Structure 1
Amino acid sequence: MQGKEGRTMERFAKLGITSIGLALLLALAARHISLSAEGVAPTDFGLLHASSPDRAGYTLSSEGVWEATFASGAKHTSPSASEEWQPYPIYGGEMTSIAMGSVITEGTLHIETVYVGTRDAGVFKSSDGGQSWEPARTGLTFYPIRTLVTDPQNPHVLYAGTDYDGIWKSTDGGDTWFESGSGLDRGLIVFDIEIDPQDTDTLYAGLAGGVALAIGNIYNSEDGGATWTIKDAGLPRSSETSSYTNGILTLALDPDDPARLYAGTVFDGAFVTTDGGEAWTPISEGLPYLSYPDWFREVSSLAIDPHHGNRVAAIAGGKYHVWDDINGWEKVSDDTLSSESHLYFHPADPAILYCPNRLHGFSKSADGGVNWEHFRAGIFDVAFHTLFPDTLYGVHRGDFNEIGGVYKSDDQGETWSEAYPGVMAQAVQSVVVDPQDSDRMYAGTGNGHFFRTQDGGITWERGLYESYKPLYNFGAVKDLAVDPLDSHKIYLVGSSGLFTSTNYGAVLEKIEALTSPNCMAVSIKNSSTQVYVGGGLDHGVYRSVDGGSTWDQITETLPVFGSSTCPVLSIAVDPDNPDTVWVGMQYGGGIARSTDGGDHWQVMGLTETNFIEAIAINPANSAEILAGGGFWEGSIYKSTDGGGTWEKISGIAFVQDLVYDPRDPRWVYAATEGYGVLRSFDGGENWHDYSSGIFYPLLYSLAITEEDPPLLVVGSYGSGLYWSHLSAPTYVFLPLVVR
């Protein structure tokens, strides 16, 4: 993992907390914000801790929206309607789950309702067979949606199993959601939910978590998810004294005998119950061991075969197996699928099986599972209506080459087309606006995609890395800049290097001389563009005084960590003096200043702060500087004397970017890690929430357009790119009294 998200993980790793998914890390990082007398700021955000089912600091309104409460007990006050954040139409992102809803038939036509779950943007719904999508997430927090299922008797009832946030339920087709009930362990991932088709108030859930998903449990609800109880008798413990079983990856319920349920585990093979989970019996004979000497048997997916007496089938050790009550498990195919997979039977044709999986994408067998063909890389789960099983909807997580999204096939998965307009779930990490033309904007994502618009955000397209067509090999796009003298020229800092474009970002080329870049700043000096690029450990600062044609590397006099130059995480150039450059460092390097264009550096304090992620200089008074940093607790630091002294404004959460409003620099905006956008009306002394309309509040980058009135643009690392009209600063003039 690269860039700022990687540093989020690093902070927790240094404190002995393992990586259990970014959403849970944010939950653990949710820090109570202290308030100054005049200011308000949000307390622990909506996701909160798995141990806080009452959502302390958050209440659900009558409209089904989570509302923050402050330490003072006062409700969060939302911006006016004109300041509500609106999304830009950058589609796709990391899809995690999919489910079918109702279907409408008109002659030979059929139009399905489809639901898709995302990593950080909640649930989206299509009522027209994937032609368009809308958010269906009111009431949801923003934990990843691991699994989605619909009630087989009522397609308007849905259940969403999450990573570390239990199970959520909707009874109105996804319009609103509420927590399904009590009794579930909120520190685990809900991998599977099975619904009894004869009594849909009866549900089973398989959970796993911990290191290597080694712990878990099976839960049962008899009241439509209102309450849950553990059903673990006979399942092996993760350890002798543990209250957890082995991690549960998959469940399969016999529709004709719903008291018969099968479970697949991470280490201990498969199990069966014939009494609704009261007692479990191992059925692992014949399953392959995945390590020497006979350490574990992983069963990643189970399915009931309706064409062979409802026998159970499995993907175990990446191979297709079927169960026989006399002979145990039989391996049907030598073809390797994947240990991360799903398995489905065509309801009308016994020869056809579908197996979307991590290794190959969408795989299909046309001979009962003996031989498998692979048709579409990246598709890792599918959904189809039992009446029309040849029409498939598949979800793609996305990678450094392809954008994740929803895909549709009308021929049993042999060909696929994009079907996700309206799904906005991109992990935007960087954004910049052309200072010469606000219609031109650029955004980069944490999974390597670079988007550009030339019409003010109405349409977007991807920029291409010329040397790797058709690949998009930027790595995480950590920073972006537009040349202030030539708008054709774009600079892109990716985890795989520095890239430049001379055609508005249509095609980019890599600058091979630069390695390990983190951040960047551009300015004008002597009618030329100078570019500063902050590097990783022992890379210092790269400098170009000719618009990127030539570069030199500066490491001398920069602070060191051990014997290596500290990583540079942020850079800012004084708007009044291009020779004055500020850098924010990692590993206690603090904040350093150069007054000779980077030749020499002086540490200006904040060495007690492990991360300085953001620096902003007041455009009307360059002696005023704001810096965002911290380690466990995020803070903003303010200097009014050019860095001579610093005031610490505690409890503001981790700040990843800062921008001054050029119309009135008393107005400042901060992009934070987990608390959305904060706004200050007094130069950073007090902060107010300014996030209404942003779903996922992990924000890394801000930009302000030059138009009047300007737009504030912010990237969410999970729910896309947003804009908001900035209201004009207002003033109250007191009457002059002459005595």
Structure 2
Amino acid sequence: MKRLTYCRLAGVFLAVASTCAAAQDWQPLGPRGARVSALVAASGNSSRILAATENGLFLSIGEGQRWRSTAVGLFATGGTGIRLLAASPVLPLQFFLLDSGGRLLRSEDGGESWAPTGYVHPAFDTPVAMTVTTDGLLISHYSGVLRSTDVGATFAPVADLPAGQPMGVMAINPQQPQVVLAGAFLGPFTPGDASLYRSTDGGTRWTPLAGLPPGNVTEIEYVSDGSTVVSLDGAVYRSTDAGQNWQLLFQLSGGRVVRVEAGTVQLLLTDGRNCFRSSNFFATAPTSCADGLPQWEWGSAGFSTIEYARSLNGAPRVLINARRYGVLSYNPYANSWSPNGIELFGVPTRGLAIAPTDSNWILTGHWLPHSDNEPLRMTRDGGEFWQYDLGRYARAIRSIEFDPTSLAGGPDSTRIYASGVGFSAQPVFNNSGVFKSSDGGASWQALDSGLPSSGDPPRVMIGTVRKVKLDPRSCAAPPPQGPCAAGPLDTVFALAEGGSDAAYRLIRSHEGGANWSGVGASLPDAIVGSDWSEYVLPIDIEMDRSGDAIYVSLFGVYYNDDGTPRIPSSASGVFRSSDGGSTWAASNTGLPLVGGSATTTRDVFALAVHPRKAGVLWATTAEIGQATRIYRSDDSGAHWTAAGAALDNCDVRDLQVDPAAPQVLYAAGFALNQSNGCVLRSEDGGTSWTPLHAQLPVAAVYEVRKDPQNSRRLVVASDHGIWSVEAPGDRIFDDVE
């Protein structure tokens, strides 16, 4: 007989067929690096460094060579990121963090855990800088500078600094901790105001310092001989009399200055592309220190942080944040830079695709839009080396799919589709956000024909394309049931925002993307009132094995202009097409409704179809902030029943069926209570679930895939890159008698 046991997950017990999964040995596959917005070193002799990235926080003990994610799940719900990060000058384990929602949080254990201080920064006023002093906490914003004396619980304006002038950098003198210098952000807004201000009482009172020209102060360094060095608009100035007089030392446009080593007067000046080092305040020609700095295709490195740090053995390092590398480290003894991205896995990935014939061939997308991004990532060796692509065509990639019928001809003739956010600048201008490669990813073309556009030159206007999907039966001679073995596959669907024409929320091509038509007109349209709006958008699409039905799932955006919760009336949920996608009808009977609504089905973020039985499919249902529940239909979506209990603490965003054992399902998503992202497996069609995500150090999982050549191996795309695990055997193949 089969043994039934129970596993505990987030305080509840899930019925599980087979033994409870032990902690899984998840392994990162890359891509290494992260888009780091700030680096902060702890005070004193601590070698602790925190790195704030676009989607989480990383910690290094040492000189930044090895990193691990910390406070996992802190920012998962709502996608909140990090705006500002600061360290206490006297308490080595105390840090403060201001998130993009305006919450101020404090850590007393070196960044491992965080608690709100109670302060929330106003949404209408952008914070610029944050510094911890010996007597309080300073936050600079566009209305001036705020100061707290109760560990961040409350703030009051600083009276002596000019109102409406943000300070871009505020630096404490390590030899005289009561002395703080503040430099104007983007130069003095008011003519005649100073570029630099000085406080001798920890930030209570301030005095303007003359002698510097108006400009943007980016760095302030206190040197061991007692002098002060400032970067202002790329020029380096030095004062030997506490800021009363200043001497111009050197100029490098966009440069930032930092001390090279404690106890010396050596300085380093870099703009991320060029680098100069001096031991005599640039009195003689400086030494080049550019070895190892990337020569960026896009121009300057665009780094915003330069930080002096030390290793565990006390060796000095200079760190800067550097686009896809995450962090670059300067070794003063070798006089060279090197990436410090070992174990810094912070790339937010979506659109996971694994070649059916080669599990080392993996593609994924960087899904947060950036104008200088290279959003497509591809590896042919299982993650050791990643190729970056589509930098001139796309700002983000969210979905990738192989044409499996093209793999027989080898990589050079393999067709791959990708979708996301098109580029919106010269020389490409705005394209559709749908791309195709006919040579295994070596080159790409944007697929724009037939889509609505405007302007001169024309710009395609369909918004973010969340999904691209090939019809597996769209070859010239499809079999009676199931996917085509020989191709190419000609019919492609893509799910978009639609722009001004709602029909283009769902687009279709019968020519491999060469020409498109909008087929979403019969999906529910937007409803807009005088002070409220309701929009529904497609998020997933699946084709029935029989070829007789196509299913699309929708999610809604419902809001009142005054910010109060809105109870919607729009139709949403699952829609079905019986004519190849030309028209659509709701198929929601039995699916739950949004709380308080009599007509609106809950968001359905993921669908999955049975690979062998026509008309059998599963759907996830959820409301924002609530656990997901899986529903099943055995009659092509006409009726739905709950497959099991709600998946407590998990918001599921992807659902997959094991093609070799269709009663085995996999679900992936993010946790709701500041814990790890979730990966779960069901061995009974969705009735009960086993968690597989123990020790997976990510906050959100967006896709889960089975290795096509190893039935035990799972691969996931997450907010911290691609990870894999050898999952425990399921009872379908490993029965316990």
TM-score, with structure 2 as normaliser: 0.66
Measure how far apart 1:542 and its partner are.
1.8
Measure how far apart 1:384 and its partner are.
0.8
- Cα pair distance change 1:490/1:348, threshold 3 Å: farther
Matches of 1:405 and 1:209 in 2, distance apart? 28
Larger mean Cα displacement after TM superposition, 488-497 or 91-100: 91-100
RMSD after superposition? 4.5
User: Which one of the candidate residues 479, 488, 509 is aligned to 1:544?
Assistant: 509
Task: Report the 3-state secondary structure (helix = DSSP H, G, I; strand = E; otherwise coil) of the residue aligned with 1:403.
Answer: helix
Q: Which residue of 1 aligns with 2:348?
A: 427
Q: Does 1:158 align with 2:90?
A: no
Measure how far apart 1:91 and its partner are.
0.9
User: Which one of the candidate residues 579, 595, 614 is aligned to 2:578?
Assistant: 595
Q: Which residue of 2 aligns with 1:627?
A: 619
Measure how far apart 1:661 and its partner are.
1.5
Measure how far apart 1:434 and its partner are.
1.2
Q: Does 1:636 align with 2:649?
A: no
Matches of 1:390 and 1:734 in 2, distance apart? 56
Measure how far apart 1:282 and its partner are.
7.5
Amino acid at match of 2:123: V
Matches of 1:350 and 1:491 in 2, distance apart? 58
Given that 1:148 and 1:158 are in contact with CA atoms closer than 8 Å, whether structure 2 keeps it comes out as no
Measure how far apart 1:689 and its partner are.
2.1
Deviations 1:149-173, CA, capped at 9 Å, x for gaps = 48879xxx533434458433448xx
Given that 1:453 and 1:460 are in contact with CA atoms closer than 8 Å, whether structure 2 keeps it comes out as yes
Q: Does 1:330 align with 2:299?
A: no
- Cα pair distance change 1:550/1:437, threshold 3 Å: farther
Measure how far apart 1:393 and its partner are.
0.6
Deviations 1:482-516, CA, capped at 9 Å, x for gaps = 11222422211112211122232233222223533
Q: Which residue of 1 aligns with 2:659?
A: 662
Given that 1:352 and 1:364 are in contact with CA atoms closer than 8 Å, whether structure 2 keeps it comes out as no
Q: Which residue of 1 aligns with 2:725?
A: 724
Q: Which runs of 5+ in 1 are unaligned?
A: 1-36, 43-67, 105-110, 189-207, 215-246, 291-296, 397-401
Q: Which residue of 2 aligns with 1:88?
A: 29
Matches of 2:153 and 2:678 in 1, distance apart? 45
Measure how far apart 1:610 and its partner are.
4.6
Amino acid at match of 1:135: R
Q: Does 1:441 align with 2:335?
A: no
Matches of 2:15 and 2:34 in 1, distance apart? 36
- Cα pair distance change 1:281/1:730, threshold 3 Å: closer
Matches of 1:559 and 1:309 in 2, distance apart? 62
- Cα pair distance change 1:346/1:510, threshold 3 Å: farther
Matches of 2:699 and 2:384 in 1, distance apart? 23
Q: Which residue of 1 aligns with 2:416?
A: 490
Q: Does 1:365 align with 2:236?
A: yes
Matches of 1:274 and 1:664 in 2, distance apart? 61
Given that 1:409 and 1:415 are in contact with CA atoms closer than 8 Å, whether structure 2 keeps it comes out as yes
Matches of 2:342 and 2:603 in 1, distance apart? 38
Alignment of 1:267-278 (within 5 A): 269=144
Q: Which residue of 2 aligns with 1:577?
A: 546
Task: Report the 3-state secondary structure (helix = DSSP H, G, I; strand = E; otherwise coil) of the residue aligned with 1:611.
Answer: coil
Matches of 1:366 and 1:342 in 2, distance apart? 11
Given that 2:549 and 2:636 are in contact with CA atoms closer than 8 Å, whether structure 1 keeps it comes out as no
Given that 2:473 and 2:547 are in contact with CA atoms closer than 8 Å, whether structure 1 keeps it comes out as yes
Matches of 2:5 and 2:667 in 1, distance apart? 18
Matches of 1:124 and 1:307 in 2, distance apart? 27
Matches of 2:661 and 2:514 in 1, distance apart? 36
Matches of 2:396 and 2:382 in 1, distance apart? 24
Task: Report the 3-state secondary structure (helix = DSSP H, G, I; strand = E; otherwise coil) of the residue aligned with 2:606.
Answer: strand
Given that 1:452 and 1:462 are in contact with CA atoms closer than 8 Å, whether structure 2 keeps it comes out as yes
- Cα pair distance change 1:577/1:101, threshold 3 Å: same
Q: Which residue of 2 aligns with 1:250?
A: 130
Matches of 2:43 and 2:622 in 1, distance apart? 49
Measure how far apart 1:313 and its partner are.
1.8
Given that 2:184 and 2:216 are in contact with CA atoms closer than 8 Å, whether structure 1 keeps it comes out as no
Q: Which residue of 2 aligns with 1:671?
A: 668
- Cα pair distance change 1:549/1:327, threshold 3 Å: closer
Alignment of 1:194-343 (within 5 A): 209-212=121-124, 250-251=130-131, 253=133, 263-266=138-141, 269=144, 284-285=159-160, 287-290=161-164, 297-304=165-172, 311-319=179-187, 320-323=195-198, 328-330=207-209, 333-337=212-216, 343=220
- Cα pair distance change 1:650/1:474, threshold 3 Å: farther
Given that 1:115 and 1:124 are in contact with CA atoms closer than 8 Å, whether structure 2 keeps it comes out as yes
- Cα pair distance change 1:99/1:435, threshold 3 Å: same
Measure how far apart 1:324 and its partner are.
7.6
Measure how far apart 1:451 and its partner are.
0.9
Q: Which residue of 2 aligns with 1:62?
A: none
Matches of 2:583 and 2:180 in 1, distance apart? 70
Given that 2:128 and 2:166 are in contact with CA atoms closer than 8 Å, whether structure 1 keeps it comes out as no
Deviations 1:375-424, CA, capped at 9 Å, x for gaps = 1343222321499999521235xxxxx42611234689x99653223201
Measure how far apart 1:615 and its partner are.
1.0
- Cα pair distance change 1:560/1:39, threshold 3 Å: farther
Q: Identity percentage over the alignment? A: 20
Q: Does 1:697 align with 2:699?
A: yes
Matches of 2:150 and 2:420 in 1, distance apart? 55
Matches of 1:628 and 1:298 in 2, distance apart? 46
Matches of 2:360 and 2:72 in 1, distance apart? 34
User: Which one of the candidate residues 494, 500, 519 is aligned to 1:533?
Assistant: 494
Deviations 1:544-589, CA, capped at 9 Å, x for gaps = 2332233333234334334999522111122x23453211123433
Deviations 1:460-480, CA, capped at 9 Å, x for gaps = 221234xx2xxxx52231111
Q: Number of paired residues?
A: 567
Amino acid at match of 1:534: L
Given that 1:305 and 1:311 are in contact with CA atoms closer than 8 Å, whether structure 2 keeps it comes out as yes
TM-score, with structure 1 as normaliser: 0.66
User: Which one of the candidate residues 21, 33, 57 is aligned to 1:79?
Assistant: 21
